[in-house]
Structure 1
Amino acid sequence: MTENKEKYTDAELQEFKEIILKKIERAEEDLRLIKSSYKNDSNNGTDDTSPTFKAFEEGSETMSKESNVQLAIRQEKFIRDLKNALLRIENKTYGICRVTGKLIKKERLKLVPHATLSIEAKNMQQ
């Protein structure tokens, strides 16, 4: 059925929109948690311990903050991609592969609702 259609119906687009809105809500909550963890400057009470241990602790804390910043950046990109998918739903271009022009399979969009490439196009990139 998907193979012959050129675009998804309004009802199908609404279904995708609900999936995307839920994912955005979850992703924004995750982003808040990530940001709060790297903005938290607790020193874990190492002030009165040996200087060597404190140096290790600070190094570990710096690495942890850097990885959390990277996670936050990836999460922000994910949210942006989801919001772009909402725009494609609004202008009725959602689910159309930007390389082949064919409809992306519904199963793929349910798993990766911000996808802009069909599996066929994705495989051509590799």
Structure 2
Amino acid sequence: MASTEPALLQAKQKLAERFEMKDFGELHFLLGMAIKRNSDSLSINQQPFIKQILSKFGMESCNPVSTPAGTDEKLLKSDGSKSVDAKLYQSIVGSLLYLAVGTRPDIAHSVGVLSKFNSCPTVTHLTAAKRVF
């Protein structure tokens, strides 16, 4: 889709009449999402953000797994394991939630389950969160 299409130019002109704006050209990156557009397709991914959070949480060299959660794993509020830093856990879960909402619906259920333990996370919960990475 070329930016010289009449309908697009007309829309930009109408917006410019009402709002102060600048046209920076074709969009390539927005809110942590890389955007690629061809003549007949649009693709969105969060690879830069994924690399950033893997680095932030020291998970750059983590091993891949086939599922974001263990198939026989049942997380409990009080599982007997040691408590971990709640802010660290919440930061991990928040980052994963942003991915799930943006471009990774395949991890949404696992992240939703992990978010239940934001107030009192344990080592077991943190390990489960790291598995999603």
TM-score, with length taken from structure 1 = 0.33
Query: Looking at both structures, which has the greater relative contact order when contacts are Cα pairs under 8 Å and sequence separation is at least 6?
Result: 1
Bigger fraction of residues in helix: 1
